[in-house]
Each structure stands twice: as C-alpha cells, then as structure tokens.
Amino acid sequence: MSYDLIIRGGMIVDGTGGEPFIGDLAVKDGKIAAIGALTDTAAREMDATGLLVTPGFVDIHTHYDGQVTWGAELSPSSNHGVTTAVMGNCGVGFAPCKPEDHDNLIHLMEGVEDIPHAVLAEGLEWNWESFPEYLDAVEARPHDIDFAIQVPHAALRVYVMGERGANREPATQHDIAAMAALARDAIKAGALGFSTSRTLNHRTSKGDPTPTLTAAEDELLGIAMGLKEAGGGVLQFVTDFNEPEREFNMLRHLVEASGRPLSVSLAQSPVAPLSYQRILAGLKAANNDGLKMRAQVCGRPVSLLLGLELTLNPFTGHPAFQEIADKPLDEKVRILKDPEIRAKLLSDEGASENPFMKSVLRNFDNMFPLSDPPNYEPEPEMCLGAQARAKGISPQELALDLLLAEDGHAMLLYPFLNYASGSLEPSREMIEHPNTVLGLGDGGAHVGIICDGSFPTYMLTHWTRDRTRGPKLDLAQVIKAQTRDTAEAVGLEDRGILKPGYKADINIIDYDRLTLNAPRITYDLPAGGKRLFQDAEGYVATLVSGVEVMSNGQPTGALPGKLVRGAQKAPVAVAAE
C-alpha cells in the first residue's frame, strides 16, 4: 500500500498515557492509517529518529473570536503544537450581535480580554448577525489549524435583552426562553458549547461588570436546557466562587438537570490559598455520582507581564510617567534615563482607583525579573523586594533599572494566581486530580499584559524535564493531558490519539532542544496593534490532517485548518472495540 506520508523511526507518545515506543506512522487521506515497523512506500517520508511523535495538542480555552475573522494563522497557539483551538470562552464573543450592539461587544472584549478597541473595530468585518451566520463567515476563510467555537452568554444576553441585558437586569421568562432557543439553534448549527462569566475581574473597557455577572440560576438553567434539547454541547464557566458551596451546588444542579458536561476555571487565589481544594473535593463527589464536571486548570502562574511598552508597569500610575506614557519606546527610554526625570519619577507616589492595580503596582515582593528563557517558578528571594533590600536601594529604583534594560524591551513577571505558596505545588495538585483538565491559556487574548498561550510547551519543558523545585510529571501523562483528555472534555473524540482511524494531527518534537523563548512585542494586529508573542524552539513539524503547517517554528503557508462543527465521534473501528 502506498501512503501519503510516513514518519519514520520516532519515539511515539500516542496520547493514551501508555509507554512511549519507537515506530513508524503512516498517514492517508488526512487520517492515521498505520503504526508499526512499516515497509510500505509513501509520497513523502519524514525522518523522526531521536524525536518525539505526539498527537497535536487540543487547547480548549482560547479567545481567537476576533482573530479568526481576519487572520489565517491562529498564532501563538499554532507555534506551540496546538492543532485544535476552542474559542468563545468566558462568555465573550461577537455573535449573535445586532448592528447597534457592535461597539458594546467590542468594549466588552477589550475590557475582559485586553484586545484594543482599534484592533477589533478595524479587524471585524461584521458580515454576520446570528451565531450560525458567524460560523459561516469564519468557515469561509482558510486557517492553519482547526478551531471550534462556543456561544457566549454576554452576546446572547445583549442580543435578546438589549440595554437591560448589558445592565445586568434580571431576565424574564420570555428572555430566558429566547436565549435558550438561540443557544439550542447555535448548537445545532455547530457551536461546541455555551460559556459564561461570573467574575468581577471581567469588566468592559468602561469599567462596567460583564453583563452575565449576576445572571440568576433560572436563566442559566434555561440555557442549559436549550443545550439538552439540542442534544449536545458543553458548559464552560468562570466564577469567583465567592460563596463556594452555594455556587458549586448551582453548577451541579445545571449538570444534573441538563445532562451536559461542565468545566469551570480553577486556580489558587492569594486571597484564599486553600479554597481550590474544596472545589476539587466537590468535583470528586459529583463525578462519583455520575456527573461530568471538571475544573480547567493550568501548570504555571497566571501572571501579569509589566513593561514600558506593555499595558502596565510599576510606574503606570505615577504623574511623571503619565506625561510620557504615549511616546514611542525609544523616546520614553531616553527620557527615563535623564537624571532629573528619573529622580522625579522615583519620588512620585503612584495613583490608581483600581484596588487590584494598587496592590499589584506596589507589591515588589511578588514581582520578579523575567529572564530568557523565562523562569515561571522563581524562588521567593529572586523577587524585586528581596533583591533591592540586599542591594540597599529602593525596589522602585531596581524596577526602573530592570525595565530600562534591553533598550526598554525588558519585562517583569507578576504572578497573581497559582503562586500564593511561592511554588507550583498547588498547580501540580490540581493537574494530577482525576477531575481536572488543562486549559486557561487564553491564546489570542490579553495582548498587552498576559502571554499564556504557550502553556502546552511549558507543560513539556518544565513539568516533564526541567523542574527542580519539586517532583516532575510523567511525559506520557502530560501528552495525554493536552491531547486525548482535552479533546474528550469537549466531545472531540476523533483526535488526540495516534491510532489508525484518528485524525492525523501530529507534532514532531526535538524534546532535548525544546525551549520556550521569552515573550516579545510584535505589531501585527489590525490598525498596527501590538501584542505579546511567545514562540518556542524544538517543534520540528506540526501537521493538521496530515498537512505540515509549521516547520521548525515557521509557518509553511499551508492552510488545512477547518471549523469543527460540534462534537465529533471516535473512528468507527475504534468505537466498536
């Protein structure tokens, strides 16, 4: 038999969690056709001797809802071995949307996901109104990797309720019925699920809470029952768990009534460092009772990046800095090196009306230099506060010196979730829990303050190879966690495993050379918008449906990626086993 492609002699880590083995892998018509010691021929062969061969990664928590409408490449996810990205998380997105509400949804996405208004205003074509029309619009554009989309609660609420919805007024039974019908139709058209946000951290760029913050249980239940009527779809939640027991019981009730699987974002909070354990216990009990409930967790701190060309830095609120904040970076650096300006800046008192920003910009004991390669599990004595005390200078002075390095491109790291203990042991506890799934990377979002779309690479480099401050994780289990487990969590059972019949989404990785580079700023968004970008070295090739989309870290120009409409069944031969 002649195949389209044979990958020869690689160390196959097949996504099942089983022991890696050396073998050949053949691809035919976009599917995996055979694995073993193959003597057949192929139109193309790739030598993977000494390299890992894994399934493509399935990232279930991204925000490419805008980027997918104007760009062909879903980077940075495609730079980190992701071959399927799920967007429409956290209740924000751009469909359904009436023409008069375009700006409202842009302001919401700008505030929640830090994507500038100018970028979205120029990039979005708005050649849709309904959610099915949005799916058709994004499907018509070729892309590098596959993607699936959830229907966002905020857009749904504003579409049905208008200003009442945006202002968080209670939904009437008529409103709920309309939202449920739209959610049902969205699932039937190909939405992968429904998402919502119940956290005060999510606000519009005008400072208003997200429209879904106080949505009552009857509204959420009505929409969940719309998914049940459609016969598919997952539920995705982000919540503050301010009343943990009450909130968890509500989530549990939604799953009991609708029968739909649910995931909820979970990270260690510095305010209540052990509260995540209560949620894990609740998840265990729910799953023991037959309910499909998972927490989405991540393997490193959710961190703010602070810098002179980023959204925030320790001097953002200082009057002397505000005077130069809009100047080009090189001019800003020149001014800040002036002894008189420097003295004025260091004597200023920063100001901010935002309590979170106040705590961040003054907390030098939780602020670290960002090295290259980055260290996301730094020891407490590496913080700016400790270094400044050792040098006998103020932490503000040290921060300014560090930020002026690299011609002003240097960055500082501020972990604000998953690092209350000063290590990643709580993350390990969450990762290893049987009822969690990897997520929260936010690819496509937070373009000027957070850069976590590289989570899949970090899981390999740090957790399976480089970690020194605690136990490592098993390579085969980590591959499984971000391939088969994530795929199954959202119903994409046709991918995530290297076995005959499965989709030929494949990574070939030089594991020993795999390196996560430091984040940097690029100016490649619409309207010349900037974004944080982080790439990696060591991805020899990434294939989508057997087509090479990335080669040695660079896009090939091939665009085989497709919109995945709804849940996908496992191959028939495998399902029958």
Kindly state the average pLDDT of the residues 95-102: 98
Residue 427 — very low, low, confident or very high, per pLDDT cuts 50/70/90?
A: very high
Place of tokens 């932490």: 395
How many angstroms separate the CA atoms of 41 and 4, rounded? 9
Cα 319 from Cα 351, distance rounded (Å): 8
Mark residue 3 as left, alpha or beta (left: phi above 0; alpha: psi -120 to 50; beta: remaining): beta
Q: What is the arithmetic mean of pLDDT over 301-330?
A: 93
Q: Which residue has the tokens 């968004």?
A: 525
Reported as a single tens digit per residue, the pLDDT across 179-212 is 999 999 999 999 999 999 999 889 998 889 999 9
Number of CB atoms found within 10 A of residue 481's CB: 25
What is the rounded average pLDDT of the residues 443-462? 96
- Find the mean pLDDT for residues 332-359: 84
**Would you place residue 354 in the very low, low, confident or very high pLDDT band (cuts 50, 70, 90)?**
low
User: What percentage of residues in the chain have a pLDDT greater than 70?
Assistant: 98
Q: CA 489 to CA 261: how far, in whole Å?
A: 8
Strands 31-36, 412-417: parallel, antiparallel or unpaired by DSSP? unpaired
| Its pTM surpasses 0.85 | yes
The closest alpha carbon to 399, from 301, 313, 518, belongs to 313
Q: State the Cα–Cα distance between residues 251 and 382, nearest whole angstrom.
A: 40
Pairing of strands 515-516, 536-537: antiparallel
**pLDDT score of 362:** 85
For residue 409, the one-letter residue type is H
The CA dihedral of 345, 351, 352, 357, to the nearest 10 degrees, is: 60
Q: What is the mean pLDDT of residues 69-80?
A: 97
Q: What is the pLDDT of residue 61?
A: 98
Range 441-460 average pLDDT? 96
Q: What is the pLDDT of residue 351?
A: 66
Strand order in the sheet with 412-417: 302-306, 412-417, 368-369
For residue 50, give the 3-state DSSP assignment. Answer: coil
Upper half-sphere CA count for residue 439 (Cβ side, 13 Å): 30
Mean pLDDT, to the nearest integer, of 99-123? 95
Q: What is the pLDDT of residues 510-566, one digit of tens each?
A: 999 999 999 999 999 999 999 999 999 999 999 999 999 999 999 999 999 999 999
Quote the CA–CA distance of 81 and 333 in Å, as a whole number: 36
Contact (CB, 8 A) for 193 and 234: yes
Q: What are phi and psi of 487, to 5 degrees?
A: -60, -45
- The β-bridge relationship of strands 547-551 and 539-544 is antiparallel
Domain range list for the chain: 1-301+424-525+533-577, 304-417
Q: What pLDDT sits at residue 577? A: 41
d(C-alpha 224, C-alpha 567), whole Å: 16
Per CATH, which fold does 1-301+424-525+533-577 belong to?
Answer: TIM Barrel (3.20.20)
User: Which token pair is 249?
Assistant: 């019981």
pLDDT over threshold 90, residue 445: yes
pLDDT exceeds 60 at position 54: yes
What is the DSSP annotation of 139-192?
HTS-BSSEEEEEEEHHHHHHHHHTHHHHTTPPPPHHHHHHHHHHHHHHHHHT--
The Cα–Cα gap between 263 and 248 comes to 11
On the question of pLDDT at 301 being above 50, the answer is yes
Burial label, 228 (beta-carbon count in 10 A; 0-12, 13-18, 19+): middle
Quick one: pLDDT band at residue 318, thresholds 50, 70, 90? Answer: confident
Return the biggest CA–CA distance within the chain: 76
Nearest CA among 114, 307, 131, 81 for reference residue 203: 114
| Secondary structure class of 62 (helix, strand, coil) | strand
* pLDDT tier for residue 349 given thresholds of 50, 70 and 90: confident
**Helix/strand/coil for 385:** helix
pLDDT of residue 52: 98
Q: How many helices (H) and strands (E) does the chain have?
A: 21, 24
Give the pLDDT mean for 347-371.
81
The arithmetic mean of pLDDT across residues 88-106, rounded, is 97
What rounded mean pLDDT belongs to the chain? 96
Rounded to whole angstroms, the Cα distance separating 516 from 539 reads 11
Burial class (CB in 10 A: 0-12, 13-18, 19+), 376: buried
Predicted local confidence at residue 352, as pLDDT: 66
Q: How much of the chain, in percent, has pLDDT values that exceed 90?
A: 93
DSSP letters of 290-316?
Answer: T--EEEEE-SS-EEEEE-TTSS--TTT
Q: Up-side HSE of residue 411: CA atoms within 13 Å toward CB?
A: 29
pLDDT band at 575 (very low <50, low <70, confident <90, very high): very low
pLDDT at 100: 97
Top pLDDT among 380 and 573 is at: 380
pLDDT mean over 249-255: 98
Q: State residue 576's pLDDT score.
A: 40
